[in-house]
Structure 1
């Protein structure tokens, strides 16, 4: 988009800016390092395509440190993370730049669980700083998986759902990627494991023995493109219903 077209679309707060935020993190031997970026980016584009007055900003690809009990930790080559402080300030700087352009409403679509609280901090800081300048802004923060209903969970996990915490590299993400970027998934390399089990605490330095050697926290083997389509349709429709 050239700057003149961008100015015309956004002047006087004419658009909601949709910002996908993810991470570069291993997702098992069967899948690329960037589902946490590609999935929210795809959802953002589909939402904006079906809504008036929305623009999708370029994704923020690097997210907060992978945690052992939700992302298998930082033991694997390719997982490339930033500190919470860095992520908070980076997102804030991007948003305040958009405010300077005249934008006033933002939708942050998170694709990496560990980002959540630092995105809250960035949004809160933005609102407070703008109010000091008599500028009213509104930031909507969401993680796409929160729009998945119990009915869909039952269809996607007919053998029983063990919880989002161990879905890293499992059926959810693999199914979505099979649907939108099948060329980045090789199911012949998918490793079947039982869902990871962790003690009710964290430890630092992190203990690599807690993490399955595949890097996933549950089995991706039951994943299908059809399941991915079902999940995506519900997430996109839910976001449009609430924020479109």
Structure 2
């Protein structure tokens, strides 16, 4: 992967392996990156942690290029009610997720800002509501989600390729099979009314049968570049807001 930010002047700091005094010395000039995922079914061939795994990987890549980033442990449970008919899916719902994110970011006031990197589309609505409220409170927070083909939105080519790159030992390629390939927007009325299983019995939105690690590398690079650019723009806007303007 190409470097898109400033090279490191210190090792990446992670809350899961760093004592508080080391964080205290840098927090005021650092940005906390929080991966947001989910624990939900991803078809007959992928584990329940796909969204969390991708969010963590993207935060780690961001920290590799930006010395100001401190990595937080992931939020591994999200709003996944639409997957409730698939055993093993664990969901905390939209309201709980929104409040979790609000309180989490409020507790991170020691940092210069918080970057919420979300890899689960079902989290988008509560994430945006939480971000709007936090920004209205004067807190520095950025929410970022990846984009892609609306006909390949869950456990299809993209996510399977990403997992073949990140955790190939968890991918059951012998079980990979196409699911529904209609655009997500067309499916939303039925999905909201009856859940995901009503529109795709195997839990797949897309076709994972031609996924590859090479495609996963390219996809993760593309997402990492997009994330880095969004963070660069956001940090620039924060710096501009701090600069005094004289008539």
Is the TM-score greater than 0.5?
Answer: yes
- TM-score, length of structure 1 as denominator length: 0.80
What CA deviation, in whole Å up to 9, does each residue of 1:120-151 have, x standing for no partner?
1212222333x4xxxxx32111102x3x6xxx
Q: Which residue of 2 aligns with 1:20?
A: 35
Would the aligned equivalents of 1:16 and 1:103 in 2 still touch at CA under 8 Å? yes
After TM superposition, give the deviation of residue 113 of structure 1 in Å.
Answer: 0.4
Judged with a 3 Å threshold, the aligned counterparts in structure 2 of structure 1 residues 66 and 172 are, in CA distance, closer, same or farther, namely farther
Partner of 1:229: 217
Aligned mates of 2:93, 2:228 — CA distance in 1: 32
Report if aligned partners of 1:178, 1:224 keep a CA contact under 8 Å in 2.
yes
Note the C-alpha offset of 1:193. 3.9
List aligned pairs for 1:127-166, cutoff 5 A. Answer: 127-129=135-137, 131=138, 137-144=139-146, 146=147, 163-164=149-150, 166=152
Deviation at 1:92, TM superposition (A): 0.9
Structure 1 portions without partners, runs of 5+: 68-72, 132-136, 149-162
Partner of 2:173: 187
Q: 1:79 aligns with which of 55, 78, 89?
A: 89
Aligned residues: 213
Are the aligned partners of 1:64 and 1:115 in contact in 2 as well (CA < 8 Å)?
yes
**Which position in structure 1 is the counterpart of 2:112?**
104
**Which residue in 2 is equivalent to 1:30?**
45
Residues 203, 174 of structure 1: alpha-carbon distance in 2 compared, 3 angstrom cutoff: closer
The equivalent of 1:94 in structure 2 is 104
Secondary structure in structure 2 of the residue aligned to 1:26: coil
Listed one character per residue, the Cα deviations across residues 163-182 of structure 1 (whole Å, up to 9, x for unaligned) are: 32542100010000000111
Partner residue of 1:3? 20
- Matched with 1:52 is 67
Find the residue that maps to 1:172 and give its secondary structure.
helix
Give the equivalent residue in structure 1 for 2:129: 121
- What's the counterpart of residue 175 of structure 1? 161
Taking a change above 3 Å as real, the CA distance of residues 92 and 189 of structure 1, as seen in their structure-2 partners, is same
Match of 1:70? none
RMSD of aligned C-alpha atoms? Answer: 2.1
| Partner Cα distance (1:108, 1:208) in 2 | 25
Please tell me whether the aligned partners of residues 174 and 223 of structure 1 are also in contact (alpha carbons under 8 angstroms): yes
Which ranges of structure 2 fall in alignment gaps of 5 or more residues?
A: 1-17, 233-247
* CA–CA distance in structure 2, aligned partners of residues 82 and 214 of structure 1: 23
Kindly indicate whether the alpha-carbon contact (under 8 Å) linking 1:25 and 1:66 is maintained by their aligned counterparts in 2: no
Contact 2:165 2:214 in 1 (8 A): yes
Scaled by the length of structure 2, the TM-score of the pair is 0.79
CA distance in 2, matches of 1:208, 1:243: 33
